[in-house]
Amino acid sequence: MSTAAGPEGPQRGPRRPGRLGIGVIGAGKVGAVLGAALRAAEHAIVGVSAVSEASRDRAELLLPGVPVLEIPEIVERSELVLLAVPDDALGPLVEGLATLGAWQPGQLVVHTSGRHGVGILAPVRAAGAIPLAIHPAMTFTGLSLDLGRLPDCCFGVTADPAMLPIAQALVVEMGAEPVVVAEADRVVYHAALAHGSNHLVTLASQAAEVLGRIGIENPAAVLGPLLRASLDNALSAGEGALTGPVARGDVGTVEAHVGALAELEGAGAAADILDAYRAMARVTAVRSERRRLWPADVRAQLERALGPGRGPGEAAPSEAGGDR
């Protein structure tokens, strides 16, 4: 792989044809791992930015021997700049470097934000550099074990049509699978991943808390096989995997669940557990009704069993009212 930079582009040292000098801005959990993956593909990591102690430790672990540099110096040295920074920090960083005149014609500038496409890299494009967006659909620990997960990982890739093969090739070199996401679809794409991954963690931690409160010492041992099987079934069969008391129309069981979780809340359990149970049960009821899993009158019975809902963070009815 090579860039289209001419003699006015970044200065290069001798390097095997097709290999790039890559600078990593942000040695967080994602940046350090992707930098290590690109290094394993025989690209040269010419510098990394690391501000916190944790990021410096991560850089030392995953990118040993790579110099920790200031951001403008990294951009100056790099044929490809990997921007692995939080979503809200990406725009100001790109604009700030444009103000400094840091971006160089022909330079590849790649960000890892799920929310953004290449539009946010407009200052890069204006300078004659090439904007690319590659987002790993994976949760990272920032440890070397993440490298072993990349072959099972997809990346959401967005780029101008002529540059799309470059973005796809970078992903393939890291051992992952590129999936093209249109610029206009980036936010929806990212929302789907956040809803599936982040909220799964919330649900699992809530279930573990409930089991812990009734004295089960290792909730993970109880939940692990069940949750893994449920996830596998859901991914293979979609709504066809719906099961449990709501899908069966077991109104009495749902009512008992609500009562038991309300008692746990009264004994000190987090209020968000009952809120989440009610919310997810209602959504499950909608999907069960759509699949005609039970007679028409069951929906109304389930709504009565679930009782009044409340927004996240609102007090339970017995606690509402009083002075503010």
With H, G, I as helix, E, B as strand and everything else as coil, classify residue 134.
strand
CA–CA gap between residue 291 and residue 286 (Å, rounded): 9
- How many domains, the chain? 2
pLDDT of 316 over the 80 cut? no
Residues 201 and 94 in one domain: no
201 residue type, one letter: V
Q: State what percent of residues in the chain have pLDDT above 70.
A: 90
Query: Tell me, what CATH number does 115's domain have?
Result: 3.40.50.720
16, two tokens: 């095997």
Residue 9 covered by a domain? no
The average pLDDT across 188-204 equals 96
24, two tokens: 């990593």
Residue 13 covered by a domain? no
The average pLDDT across 19-29 equals 95
- pLDDT of 308 reads 80
Say which residue, 2 or 156, is predicted with more confidence. 156
Contact assessment for residue 83 and residue 103, using Cβ atoms and an 8 Å cutoff: no
Confidence category of residue 318, pLDDT binned at 50, 70, 90 = very low
- pLDDT of 18 reads 66
List Cβ neighbours of 302 (8 Å cut-off, separation of 6 or more): 246, 249, 251, 254, 281, 285
pLDDT of 323 over the 60 cut? no
Contact assessment for residue 129 and residue 101, using Cβ atoms and an 8 Å cutoff: no
Choosing from 137, 163, 181, the residue where a domain stops is: 181
The average pLDDT across 207-212 equals 97
Residues 158 and 67 in one domain: yes
Domain of 274, in residue numbers: 189-315
The average pLDDT across 27-52 equals 95
CA–CA gap between residue 150 and residue 144 (Å, rounded): 11
Residue 323 covered by a domain? no
pLDDT of 57 over the 60 cut? yes
Residues 27 and 168 in one domain: yes
11 residue type, one letter: Q
Residues 174 and 218 in one domain: no
Residue 1 covered by a domain? no
Tens digit of each residue's pLDDT (9 = 90 or more) over 97-135: 999 999 999 999 999 999 999 999 999 999 999 999 999
pLDDT of 13 over the 50 cut? no
Dihedral of the alpha carbons of 9, 11, 17, 22, in degrees to the nearest 10: -90
Choosing from 181, 197, 214, the residue where a domain stops is: 181
